[in-house]
Amino acid sequence: TNGVTIIGSGSAIATQVISNDDLTKIVDTSDDWIRSRTGIEQRRVATSTTLSELAAEAGQKAIAHAGLTPLDIDLIILATSTPDDLFGSAAQVQSLMGATRAVAFDLTAACSGFVFSLVTASQFIRTGVYQNVLVIGADFLSRWVDWGDRTTCILFGDGAGAVVCQGNPEKDHLLGFEMCSNGALNNNLNLSYQGNLQDIGEDKQINHGGFQNITMNGREVYRFAVNKVPEVIEKALFRANLTTGDVDWLILHQANKRIIDAVANRLKISPEKVISNLENYGNTSAASIPLALDEALKEGKIKSGDIIAVSGFGAGLSWGASIFRW
Ligand code: ACO
């Protein structure tokens, strides 16, 4: 079977910055409360680009960084829970990038979407079906936040990040992974459809409702993340025949600084090895890991050969980890 390598990354950010102080004008909150409870200082909100456009921009940068052209890409997986179109946005992204040889589909797994997509991509590569796979994580949660709910609107932001995975007969850099979900905990974090039955006569009805804003039980999500994320990273490391001592960089889904600190602490991974850019972007859902990875790469932090542990967690509930070598 083919090995899997990650050969390029890219990201794209929404232009409009919303500071914590800006939020004090719409809800009863403060910069101090938001910083101390979450670590977030500002977030970005897309007002003039579609999700497909931002995802395509991140994808194009990743392809260029990998030294490829869009025509080299065989498969595009778009991890998103906030597509421009509920039928899927991946094909639109493919078209915007001119990746006309590629097949494209969406993968919905909330904040675990990037990790789940990376693992999915690797299966197609290992079997030799596809050689170059573009994985994009992009979310515009600003579209679905209740901007009058101070318990959630302070957390989220919009963004996109991408990596290019490539088959390699000699090297395998995707060292281990583990993915989990538990629908019994689903009601802790939702962006759900609510039906509305309408009579159409003859004792028949249609169900024509709509999607509700994000609802969240913050304390339960916090508890879940702090318990399950260290566990899933340890399992993925075990599969890779590694231990936490081998990890050069820890990149968690950027949900909350307190979650990141608590997970690193439980794993006894020192703060210098933790990559975080949460203060600038808030929680960008499926985009947060590739966005943080891309920034760290472009800053020159991550060196060739470094072992990186990534973990996504969120709605579903779902969580997962992947260990790879850069
Ligand atoms: N500003 C000021 N006060 C606030 C705000 C706010 N923005 N939000 C809540 N409060 C108040 C509450 O009303 C409460 O007041 P009360 O004690 O009078 O009732 C008080 O602050 C404390 O509220 P808690 O909810 O207990 O605060 P907590 O310390 O738990 O922090 C937080 C809340 C930040 C949401 C935390 O629970 C958390 O980060 N949870 C994880 C959430 C998360 O990461 N979700 C995303 C997962 S990823 C995905 O899939 C989308």
Q: For 282-291, what is each residue's pLDDT tens digit?
A: 999 999 999 9
Asked if residue 66 lies in contact with residue 10, where contact means CB atoms within 8 angstroms, the answer is no
Taking each continuous run of H as one helix and of E as one strand, the counts in the chain are 10, 17
Q: What confidence score (pLDDT) does residue 246 get?
A: 97
Report whether residue 150 contacts ligand 1, using a CB cutoff of 6 Å.
yes
pLDDT at 8 over 80: yes
pLDDT at 267 over 90: yes
pLDDT digits (tens, 9 = 90+) for 18-68: 999 999 999 999 999 999 999 999 999 999 999 999 999 999 999 999 999
Whole-model pTM?
Answer: 0.96
Phi, psi of 158 (to 5 degrees): -110, 150
**ipTM (interface pTM):** 0.91
Q: What confidence score (pLDDT) does residue 108 get?
A: 98
- What is the rounded distance in angstroms from the CA atom of residue 102 to the CA atom of residue 121? 13
65 is known as an active-site residue: no
Closest C-alpha among 177, 171, 28 to residue 115: 177
CA of 150 to the centre of ligand 1 (A): 8
Q: What confidence score (pLDDT) does residue 281 get?
A: 98
Cβ contacts of 55 within 8 Å, gap of 6 or more: 12, 78, 80, 89, 93, 136, 138, 160, 162
The minimum-distance atom of ligand 1 relative to the CA of 151 is: 8
The minimum-distance atom of ligand 1 relative to the CA of 150 is: 7
What is the rounded average pLDDT for all residues in the chain?
A: 97
Give the number of other CB atoms < 10 A from CB of residue 200.
10
Instruction: Give the residue, out of 22, 81, 256, with the most ligand 1 atoms within 8 A of its beta carbon, to mutate for a pocket test.
Output: 256
pLDDT digits (tens, 9 = 90+) for 98-107: 999 999 999 9
CA of 114 to the centre of ligand 1 (A): 25
pLDDT at 269 over 80: yes
- What is the rounded distance in angstroms from the CA atom of residue 231 to the CA atom of residue 182? 15
Average pLDDT over residues 214-242: 97
Average pLDDT over residues 170-196: 96
Q: How confident is the model at residue 1 (pLDDT cuts 50, 70, 90)?
A: confident
Asked if residue 90 lies in contact with residue 84, where contact means CB atoms within 8 angstroms, the answer is no
Q: What confidence score (pLDDT) does residue 38 get?
A: 97
- What is the rounded distance in angstroms from the CA atom of residue 151 to the CA atom of residue 242? 38
- What is the rounded distance in angstroms from the CA atom of residue 167 to the CA atom of residue 2? 6
Residue with tokens 């399992």: 235
| Paired sense of beta strands 3-13 and 42-45, if any | unpaired
Instruction: Give the residue, out of 141, 192, 222, 281, with the most ligand 1 atoms within 8 A of its beta carbon, to mutate for a pocket test.
Output: 222
Q: Is 99 exposed, middle or buried (0-12, 13-18, 19+ CB in 10 A)?
A: buried
Nearest protein CA to atom 15 of ligand 1, as residue = 151
Q: Above pLDDT 70, what percent of the chain?
A: 100
CA of 292 to the centre of ligand 1 (A): 23
Q: Above pLDDT 90, what percent of the chain?
A: 99
CA of 31 to the centre of ligand 1 (A): 14
Closest C-alpha among 125, 209, 135 to residue 167: 125
Q: What confidence score (pLDDT) does residue 311 get?
A: 98
Give the number of other CB atoms < 10 A from CB of residue 228.
21
Nearest protein CA to atom 39 of ligand 1, as residue = 256
Report whether residue 314 contacts ligand 1, using a CB cutoff of 6 Å.
yes
Closest C-alpha among 138, 314, 148, 80 to residue 217: 314
Q: What confidence score (pLDDT) does residue 257 get?
A: 97
Give alpha helix (H) positions in 66-149.
90-97, 113-126
Report whether residue 144 contacts ligand 1, using a CB cutoff of 6 Å.
no
CA of 255 to the centre of ligand 1 (A): 12
